[in-house]
Chain A
Amino acid sequence: ILNVEQSPQSLHVQEGDSTNFTCSFPSSNFYALHWYRWETAKSPEALFVMTLNGDEKKKGRISATLNTKEGYSYLYIKGSQPEDSATYLCASLYNNNDMRFGAGTRLTVKP
């Protein structure tokens, strides 16, 4: 299984901007895609778990989409706030129970 790739590596936006980042993953034997939010000095916190091609999930101002055929997921944040500043990790779970994480996108929202 090849690596999970996330882009960009880091992102700086102004408060109120909308933003999005990408997670690319090997689609062979794919089972589920997880998004996590990781704030400094805290443990990663789950945002979404998606399994079906075309899945779209939303939690407040944050939403995510999934394309299992081409192996990518987008995370969107609408109207970014300073409290959204964190590292956003995606992880893909495969049929052999192996879960692979990307390196994360570090988001900084300036007031």
Chain B
Amino acid sequence: ETGVTQSPTHLIKTRGQQVTLRCSSQSGHNTVSWYQQALGQGPQFIFQYYREEENGRGNFPPRFSGLQFPNYSSELNVNALELDDSALYLCASRSGINEQFFGPGTRLTVL
């Protein structure tokens, strides 16, 4: 167990809907990153939050947005869902350059 938790574990949505995924970071970690892992690929970086501000973003459109809260928990919001958004969404927390600790992921299916 890494101390990073995610909810829900599985989710089914339809095209055009909106979804919010949640992550609770490991205690003491002030940086949280979100990744999308499509089948057969490595995790793709979505964005990163440090002290409640987004400070890094991968090649994802603006309909992917996030929040980090004072207790370092965070959310990933995806608007106008598309079929290709079906994937495993991982969050990971770290402190500085140290290793990241990953949550178990949320499996999102868009029909």
Contacts and interface: CB of A to CB of B under 8 A. Distances in A.
Interface string B1-22: 0101000000000000000000
Interface stretch (A14-22, A44-52, A63-71, A73-81): A44-52
A36 B92 CA distance: 12
Contact of B42 (A34, A43, A51, A89): A89
Contacts of A51: 97
A46 B100 contact: yes
Nearest to A51: B97
B40 to A, nearest CB: 8
Interface residues of A, number: 24
Q: Which secondary structure dominates where chain A touches chain B? A: strand
Contacts of B42: 4, 6, 89, 101-104
Given A43-B2, A43-B105, A101 B99 contact: no
Contacts of B31: 97
Interface residues of B, number: 27
B41 A99 contact: no
Contact of B99 (A46, A96, A97, A102): A46
A99 B48 CA distance: 9
Nearest to A47: B99
B105 A49 contact: no
Contacts of B43: 44, 89, 101
Contact of B97 (A31, A43, A103): A31
Interface of A: 4, 6, 31-32, 34, 36, 42-46, 49, 51, 89, 93, 96-104
**Which 9 residue pairs of A and B lie closest in terms of their CB atoms, listed nearest first?**
A46-B99, A43-B102, A103-B42, A101-B42, A97-B56, A32-B97, A101-B43, A44-B102, A98-B56
